[in-house]
Amino acid sequence: MIDCENKAVAGPRSFVLACADGNDALAGMSWTSWTPKLASGYGTEQLNDCQPNCASGHFRNYPVLVVFWGGAAVKGHPDETRYTTYTLIYPGARPPHYSLVNGKVVTTYPASRTASLWP
């Protein structure tokens, strides 16, 4: 993965998903698989509830299973690959905005959603 400082990282214990504002991150990660096409693990998503706004919000913790998958060349480094997609699976409590969409417990994002994973 490419972190917020544009450095390659493998198997990080923590990882910021929202580089622009730091309001969404993975923490306490334990990785069960790490290959060029798929990385899977579990830990805690630390998500700012942004109530009443993000500057005054509080971070909430959600147990999460994480899968980074897909492979594409890193821009400017054709011999290196990056993940193109990630999926978050909530085995227990989940962020309120997922409860509003049919009780959704799984969500998938293109890696380009986060600055930390841009090609």
Q: pLDDT by residue for the chain (119 residues), tens digit each?
A: 777 887 778 899 999 988 888 899 999 999 999 988 899 999 999 999 999 998 999 999 999 999 999 888 877 888 888 888 889 999 888 887 665 555 667 777 766 544 333 33
The pTM of the full predicted model, rounded to 2 decimals, is: 0.81
Determine, yes or no, domain membership for 99.
yes
Determine, yes or no, domain membership for 8.
no
Determine, yes or no, domain membership for 4.
no
Determine, yes or no, domain membership for 68.
yes
DSSP SS3 for 101: coil
Range of the domain at 42: 15-117
Determine, yes or no, domain membership for 5.
no
Alpha carbon 9 to its chain's center: 13
Please state whether 29 falls in left (phi above 0), alpha (psi between -120 and 50) or beta: beta
Contact 47, 23 (CB under 8 A): yes
User: Considering its fold, how many domains does the chain have in total?
Assistant: 1
Determine, yes or no, domain membership for 58.
yes
Determine, yes or no, domain membership for 48.
yes
Distance, CA of 51 to CA of 27 (rounded, Å): 21
